[in-house]
Structure 1
Amino acid sequence: MDESPTPVSDLLLHPIRWRITQRLLGRELTTTELKRDLPDVPTTSLYRHVAVLIDAGFLSVVRERRVRGTIERTLTLDQSKGRIDEAEARAMTPEQHRQAFLLVLTRLAADFDRLVESGDLYPRMAQLGYSQLALYVDSEDLTTIRDGISALLEPHLQETPGKDRVVLSMIALPDV
């Protein structure tokens, strides 16, 4: 029997899986490091959600090593898979769109709070920015802009020694 893949929205609209993928954006972490970064998530739940994301092809195991009789896995996120394509977005309910958007906003707020509370805000001001612009575009213009931004960012999606990790979030909302 031919099974169709689980929609991205079904996988990522779960708060724990969302948080796991956000922690792995552009980096490799062990499951122990994930547990340290998500201390409120019970260990069994964390491992179960990691397994779901591996099975769906979102996470890859890049290394394994034996630690005190168990196998510790180092994971990475396939950033190309975490996007909801237009067909799937059209199939989502308004409530699913609200939930997805709220997850993004919640994560942004939590990341900002962590930066402010770390005491590392002012030394890293050159890496911080937030603003809004109004653009006047049609669908073709917006596609051209998105393609150009993707091409510009592509060389910077892999971890590189000596480079800091910066999470760039972009949101495009039609004005109604």
Structure 2
Amino acid sequence: MPHLVGAFTLIGLSGLLALLPNDWGQWLIYDRQAILDGQLWRLVTGHLMHTNGWHFAMNSAGVLVIAWLHGRYYRFGDWWLRLGYLALMTSLGLLVFSPELYWYVGLSGVLHGLILMGALEDIRCSEKTGWLILLGLAIKIGWEQWMGPSAEVVSLIGAPVATQAHLFGALAALPYGLWAFRRKKGA
């Protein structure tokens, strides 16, 4: 149950931030130049912001699906540590390897990392579904890197989809996977 509390807290926090006046919300988005100028909080807070209600709804649904699929692996503190780590690492990936991306909002990069962490836990626990999720995620991210985002999603959220964030979120989960498998051998 703590994972559901974490999931609903994340959705609630993101929803409350959406109610901020637009001028205030602009201080929270991932803005490349502002981060380079020292506004480092944006490395994390940008993931809590969204372009519109559809974007928020899609990300909220993703949070709930991940909590349902893999919530048994998370205690409340673990949930927030993973979120913070993935937000920071996704943003750093964008900052270093995607200089053309000037702004970013949304949880999608973090969600891709969480789903990979959960799939790796499934595999560690000998659940075959983990391999299926891992394969599906690899195909999705590969397709996006090669073909770009879905035109329908771009239209729905009213902004370009930063598929690089999906890649960096998943890549950030890999060190966790190595640690999880070492933990299995030691158990």
TM-score, normalising length: structure 2: 0.28
More strand per residue: 1
More helix by share: 2
Bigger Cα Rg: 1
Compute the TM-score of the two structures, normalised by the length of structure 1: 0.29
